[in-house]
Structure 1
Amino acid sequence: MGTRPTDLPVGEPAGDHDDAPRGSARSSSGRRRAGRRVVVIGAVAATAIAAVGVIALTGRLGSSPDPVRLAAAIQIKRETTYYEARIVDPHAAVKLFKAAFAKYGLHIGVTLLPASPHLVGTVVFQTEDERAQQSESEGAGIKMIHDPACHTASGAECPIGLRIPLRFKGHADISIGRNAEPGEPYATTSPKDGAHGLEGMTVAEAEVALARKYLRVGMYNVYWPQWGTSLPRTRIPSRWKVTGDGADPYSPGTVLLPIKAQGPMPPDVADQARRNWSR
Structure 2
Amino acid sequence: MTTDLDALVRSIAAATDTDPAVGDDARRALRDAVTATDPHARPARRSVWRPLQRSGPQAVRRSLRWKLGVPLAVGLAGAAAAALTIPGGDGPRTTGTQIHARQVAALTFTEHGRYIDVRIKDPLADPARYRAEFAARGMDVRLTLVPASPSIVGTVVFSEGPEFPLLTGGGCVTGGGGPCVRGFRVPVGFRGTATLSFGRAARPGERYDSTANAFAPGEALHCLDVRGLTIDAALPRMAKRHVTAPLFHVEQHTTPGIARNVPRDQVPGSWYVADADPWAPGQVLLWVRQDRPEPRSAAREAALNRGCGR
Q: Same fold (TM over 0.5)?
A: yes
CA distance, structure 2, for counterparts of residue 160 and residue 217 of structure 1: 34
- Secondary structure, aligned partner of 2:119: strand
Higher relative contact order (CA 8 A, sep 6+): 1
Percent identical pairs in the alignment equals 31
1:186 corresponds to 2:208: yes
Query: Could you report, residue by residue, the CA deviation over 1:118-161 in whole angstroms, capped at 9, with x for unpaired residues?
Result: 44444432223xxxxxxx4xxxx5233356633586x7546552
| Correspondence list, 1:1-279, <5 A | 25-27=61-63, 66=102, 69-70=104-105, 73-128=106-161, 136=162, 141-146=163-168, 149-150=172-173, 157=179, 160-190=182-212, 191=216, 192-195=218-221, 196-223=224-251, 226-232=256-262, 233-244=264-275, 247-262=276-291
- Judging by fraction of residues, say which structure has more strand: 1
2:219 partner letter: D
CA contact (8 A) 2:62 2:155 kept: no
Q: Provide closer, same or farther for how the CA distance between residues 112 and 175 of structure 1 changes in structure 2, counting only shifts above 3 A.
A: same
CA distance, structure 2, for counterparts of residue 161 and residue 119 of structure 1: 15
CA distance, structure 2, for counterparts of residue 262 and residue 25 of structure 1: 29
How far did residue 255 of structure 1 move? 0.7
How far did residue 170 of structure 1 move? 1.7
Is the radius of gyration larger for structure 1 or structure 2? 2
Aligned length: 192
How far did residue 262 of structure 1 move? 1.8
How far did residue 25 of structure 1 move? 3.0
How far did residue 181 of structure 1 move? 4.0
- Judging by fraction of residues, say which structure has more helix: 1
> Over aligned residues, Cα RMSD in angstroms?
3.4
Give the TM-score of the pair, scaled to structure 2: 0.52
CA contact (8 A) 2:107 2:122 kept: yes
Q: Give unmatched runs, 5+ long, in structure 2.
A: 1-56, 67-100, 293-310
CA distance, structure 1, for counterparts of residue 236 and residue 112 of structure 2: 54
CA distance, structure 1, for counterparts of residue 133 and residue 155 of structure 2: 17
2:134 partner letter: F
